[in-house]
Chains A and B, each alone.
Chain A
Amino acid sequence: MKANYGYKDGSGEFFITIDTDKCNSCGDCAKVCPPKVIVMITNDYDEVVPAVAEEHRKKIKYDCAPCKPISGPRNLPCVAACKPTAIVHSW
């Protein structure tokens, strides 16, 4: 399942896509996320997978901003930590 968390508003499109079919449930992404945007949940199909925490869903543009410098390399901790490359940011 490709779970897209985020929103689209007047300022752009902000989505974090988690491919639960690629995910190996290791939980490394949640451990390295500084503001705890990414947390591990048990979804409706009883898979233990990462998700964007409810309280961050409508403001990931701001909550993820510290990991995204305007210039220079963007080594997003969650993306870098995911060995099966299951996490993608849209912006």
Chain B
Amino acid sequence: MVEFWRWKEYRWTAPDADWKNAGTISCGIDVGSVSSQAVIMTDGSLYAYSNMRTGSNSPDSARRALDWALEGTGLKQENMHFIVGTGYGRINIPFANKAITEIACHARGANFMYGPTVRTVLDMGGQDCKAIRCDEKGKVTAFLMNDKCAAGTGRGMEVFADLLQVHIEEVGDLSFKVDKEPPPVSSTCVVFAKSEASALLRKGVPKNEVLAAYCSAMAHRIFSLLERLGVEKNFGITGGISKNRGVVDRLQKELGITSLQPRYDPQVAGGVGAALFAKSLVEKQRAGLVAR
């Protein structure tokens, strides 16, 4: 059986980087509701990361993500000077030195991914959606989170990929292969949106149009969240949905501004932010500013 919702897990190492001369090796682990990332940074630049699905057990997911990021680098967990955990599973990572909320981590990670000009960050994750405003240092100045409802989340998109039997990575492109943009489906609830979609399919509406209807509903829902917080340029998107053109392009159209281009996979932004916090914490410890 093909699992249409299943996206590709992968790991990455910086091509010509060496950790042996690094002064600070910091690590950030983002255990989210759907995906987990482990990010290793050497002196504040990205060295290696892994991106995989979260299992049913968060300590175990964190462990597997870290082991995979370390794989082939010659590094060991003992080499990490500081490990910061973030995401839903953050309080449950036994080997993390500190837990920091994903809001602060995503702002800081976006500052790294998109550069210091980013002021509005939208994190579209697996089970929630966060709108964040930050300053030039990546410090949060305002935030708003919606985690009560699954509409506007990655998990909702997975449900649709499965229903329509379209691979999750292809949803974005296919949703633009339509004759005309259909009206959005219900934007309040994934379960009801799914029944609406089933009804459309029964009426003979083509698959791509149903995808388009769902993507635009999601874009509209996220737009109303951003509107409440206020959008200031420049704008950047993090989290898994940022890789779905179907939602991102429609959201940009509604907002009237385009998102900056990320330096790395924006799905790891939370982990990058956590690793950057870890680096600052090590430096503070060394300077004797905080107790060891």
Contacts and interface: CB of A to CB of B under 8 A. Distances in A.
Chain A residues touching B, range: 10 to 19
Given A7-B147, A9-B148, A58-B148, A1 B140 contact: yes
Interface in B213-228: 224-225, 228
Given A10-B189, A58-B148, A45 B141 contact: no
Nearest to A59: B148
Interface in A31-73: 43-45, 57-58
Contacts of B146: 7-8
A13 B141 CA distance: 21
A1 B140 CA distance: 6
Contacts of B228: 4, 8, 13, 15
A9 B140 CA distance: 25
B114 to A, nearest CB: 20
B142 A7 contact: no
Given A9-B149, A58-B147, A2 B141 contact: yes
B148 A7 contact: yes
B144 interface: yes
B101 interface: yes
Interface centre among B139, B143, B148 (most CB of A within 10 A): B148
A4 B227 CA distance: 13
A7 B100 CA distance: 22
Given A3-B142, A4-B229, A57-B147, 13 more contacts: A1-B139, A1-B140, A1-B143, A2-B141, A4-B142, A4-B144, A5-B145, A7-B148, A8-B146, A10-B188, A15-B228, A43-B101, A44-B101
19 contacts: A1-B141, A1-B143, A3-B142, A4-B145, A5-B145, A7-B146, A7-B147, A7-B148, A7-B149, A8-B146, A8-B225, A8-B228, A9-B188, A10-B189, A13-B228, A44-B100, A44-B103, A45-B104, A45-B140
Nearest to B187: A10
Interface string A1-28: 1111101111001010000000000000
Q: Is the interface of B mostly helix, strand, loop or mixed?
A: mixed
Contacts of A9: 148-149, 188
Contacts of A2: 141-143
A7 B144 CA distance: 9
Interface of A: 1-5, 7-10, 13, 15, 43-45, 57-58
A86 B140 CA distance: 17
Nearest to B103: A44
A36 B188 CA distance: 29
Nearest to B133: A2
Contacts of A45: 104, 139-140
Interface centre among B100, B146, B229 (most CB of A within 10 A): B146
A8 B148 CA distance: 8
Contacts of B143: 1-4
Contacts of B141: 1-2
Contact of B144 (A10, A15, A43): A15
Interface string B133-170: 00000011111111111000000000000000000000
B250 to A, nearest CB: 19
Interface in B181-233: 188-189, 224-225, 228-229
Nearest to B225: A8
B9 to A, nearest CB: 29
A5 B101 CA distance: 14
Interface string B83-101: 0000000000000000011
A43 B103 CA distance: 11
